[in-house]
Structure 1
């Protein structure tokens, strides 16, 4: 699938000829992505617990009181008593409304990255899993935006849907924060498969795991590297599966072998 917009063509990372390497039709991708959306909707409905506004409001107020009480002794060291209560309450509001959700968001990103790295690497290590499941996704040698979610249905459920659901449950996110997190995760994975490298793109600027990084994984020379997705690259770096680490290690091994041959 190709939409030619002259200004953007300079940022395309593959030529039109490269796109002919894809082994799956646009219609097949569309159908399978739609199926995965259906699976995700069903999972979302299954996980939805309903909302008790009165109970949620009580928990919200209790949390603010808890955080305010924790910081009050510190605040009182620098203010008068009445001012201390007001400032401590404002700090409690800040912690509950901004700091806690931010921490939950980043922990959720870590959980998703860890879950996806482990399963993604297993999918390339276990031949049966790769042949009958993960190879579906790699039929897209030149990915495009919504092809990000083109997977075998079971893999899509285990890798994408369950990972996000696990992050949501373990962090105790509110439904609203969960909605923000799922939306952001979808934007990020679509961006990583879009086929364009925009230098001003905030996701490109903020994350080393971007369209270039993941595209290497879709090419024959990099398919056994760059397993990390969709946010960070630390698992690849820690476990020596980052593409440039692997290339460097192979070059060093080759150089040592040549040196050994010459010394004999």
Structure 2
């Protein structure tokens, strides 16, 4: 610690101690009546059913202004799906119970809020950087950027990088496992075909899977992201919540121009809907965030691609 405090004087250390970002809470728990560990496990479930309820209201509302945004007619949802909605709800609840039970075992209670010495953590960061890049380099960086630069690095750049890395891990895990479930006949028939009984997806069917696939695809993917990205409990809470909302939104059955989850990424409800159709079932494996693996590995399919393929088929038949 003495080696790192040589980079700063007492007033700078006090400045770092007193300044925290708006998103930070010094409380040991975000909710006084619920430990962060339990909130981390509850938030994805709440997010899942809350957003699903919004889209369910859309589905049963009969609002004509929504018709232009629907990917499928309501009658098509009823006639082409091969599983009842009560079965879907039961399967989703089972998966969420399994996730919660494993989470209670997996997630450790960590020092949070006021128990964390953030100044010490920032000094440790400087110390590690000095070992990697040399004290002169670090001192020059601090001279150029000051304590504000260290503050931005610690409170914004590093958490954002960890969050994006966690998203990348989830995307990578789900892409290759999802693709394997389609390319291997046994895996598809035994496990993944459950999810494709929903030929026309709807929001609360997003996690309708075979229980083993749900464990491998979603639960293990989240655990890997938290571990490899080195997420704190609250960072993991945010990632799990966002990924759940994104998964529900990707199955909602609406192409909404004002939905932030849809215009934030080309991997949206319309993109994933193609995957649920016969013509696109060997395409668009990416989920839930981005489409880079589909683009890189040649498994991306767009509506334009479908139109061109159908036009070629029509031309051959003439």
TM-score, with structure 1 as normaliser:
0.84
Query: Residues of 1 paired with 2:139 and 2:66: CA distance?
Result: 54
The structural deviation recorded for 1:44 is 1.1
The structural deviation recorded for 1:91 is 2.3
Aligned pairs (5 A) from 1:64-75: 64-67=122-125, 72-75=139-142
Which of 116, 139, 146 is 1:57 aligned to? Answer: 116
Unmatched segments (≥5 aa) in structure 1: 78-86, 259-264
Map Cα deviations across residues 141-166 of structure 1 (whole Å, 9 max, x no partner). Answer: 11111100000000000001100110
Which of 226, 235, 239 is 1:177 aligned to? Answer: 235
Which of 48, 55, 60 is 2:107 aligned to? Answer: 48
Q: Structure 1 residues 162, 88: CA separation in 2 closer, same or farther (over 3 Å shift)? A: same
**Residue of structure 1 in register with 2:152 after alignment:** 94
The structural deviation recorded for 1:89 is 2.7
Which of 40, 43, 60 is 1:3 aligned to? Answer: 60
SS of match in other structure, 1:3:
helix
Which of 90, 101, 124 is 1:31 aligned to? Answer: 90
Map Cα deviations across residues 196-219 of structure 1 (whole Å, 9 max, x no partner). Answer: 111121122110100000000001
The structural deviation recorded for 1:68 is 5.5
Aligned pairs (5 A) from 1:1-264: 2-6=59-63, 7-19=65-77, 20-53=79-112, 57-58=116-117, 60-67=118-125, 72-76=139-143, 88-244=146-302, 247=305
Unmatched segments (≥5 aa) in structure 2: 1-55, 130-137
Q: Is the 8 Å Cα contact of residues 72 and 88 (structure 1) preserved in structure 2? A: no
SS of match in other structure, 2:69:
coil
Q: Is the 8 Å Cα contact of residues 40 and 161 (structure 1) preserved in structure 2? A: yes
Q: Is the 8 Å Cα contact of residues 64 and 92 (structure 1) preserved in structure 2? A: yes
Q: Structure 1 residues 49, 232: CA separation in 2 closer, same or farther (over 3 Å shift)? A: same
Query: Residues of 2 paired with 1:172 and 1:101: CA distance?
Result: 10
Q: Structure 1 residues 32, 90: CA separation in 2 closer, same or farther (over 3 Å shift)? A: same
Q: Is the 8 Å Cα contact of residues 68 and 91 (structure 1) preserved in structure 2? A: no
SS of match in other structure, 1:243:
coil
Query: Residues of 1 paired with 2:188 and 2:147: CA distance?
Result: 54
Structure 1 consecutive aligned stretches of length 4 or more whose deviation exceeds 6 Å: none
Higher RCO (CA 8 Å, separation ≥ 6 residues): 2
SS of match in other structure, 2:275:
helix
**Residue of structure 2 in register with 1:83 after alignment:** none
Q: Is the 8 Å Cα contact of residues 134 and 152 (structure 1) preserved in structure 2? A: yes
- Count of aligned pairs: 243
TM-score, with structure 2 as normaliser:
0.70
